[in-house]
Amino acid sequence: MNVITTEFPGLIILEPKVFEDSRGYFFESYNNSTFEQAGISNKFVQDNQSKSSYGVLRGLHYQLDPFAQAKLVRVVQGKVLDVAVDLRQGSPTYKKWHGEILSADNKKQMFIPRGFAHGFLVLSETAEFLYKCDNFYSREHDGGIRLDDPEIGIDWQVAKEHLIISDKDVKLPYLQNATANFQFNS
């Protein structure tokens, strides 16, 4: 597996080695030893899956401490723009965002450490999105920021009038008014 570090401490892109032949393909999507060598020692406790249509934007979500979640995300059908925003105070990439195209074709995965807001936009007709979490969901610790926060300035690559956003996500606060209790630990 090809491990690609980003400028964001702890945010890692993983590209599997895909073996293809006339029958189809095979690849290893998770290997604890490989992930530990990449610095990912999280124990995943919950798997989630969603299916969405073109223009659906889910996010930007996070869970507050002590229920913060690291996530390992990938797409098994379709294509998305996956975005992570660093909310860890003291981080050299605080308030910056990283976007990555994840698709069934490229089979990339992104590991998002605790302390990031996360969202994705569907760029294909439909997309099935999988993510492993290292902590359980807690409604009381649910947090989020607006997808169009000017302080962050995410380029979603699709005109706003084509986006499909939940009522909950439309009502999320801007970062300056959001609660985020994350600290960067180098």
Amino acid at 139: R
Q: Is 131 a catalytic residue?
A: yes
Q: Active site residue: 62, 98, 118, 131, which one?
A: 131
Q: 75: exposed, middle or buried (C-beta count within 10 Å: 0-12, 13-18, 19+)?
A: buried
Burial annotation 149-160 (CB, 10 A radius, 16+ → b, else e):
beebebebeeee
* Catalytic site includes residue 137: no
Which DSSP letter does residue 152 get? T
| Active-site pick, 61, 98, 118, 141 | 61
Assess contact for 143 and 179: CB atoms under 8 A.
yes
Q: How many CA atoms lie within 13 A of 182 on its CB side?
A: 26
Q: What backbone torsions phi and psi does residue 164 show, to the nearest 5 degrees? A: -115, 115
d(CA 182, CA 148): 21
Residues catalogued as catalytic: 61, 131
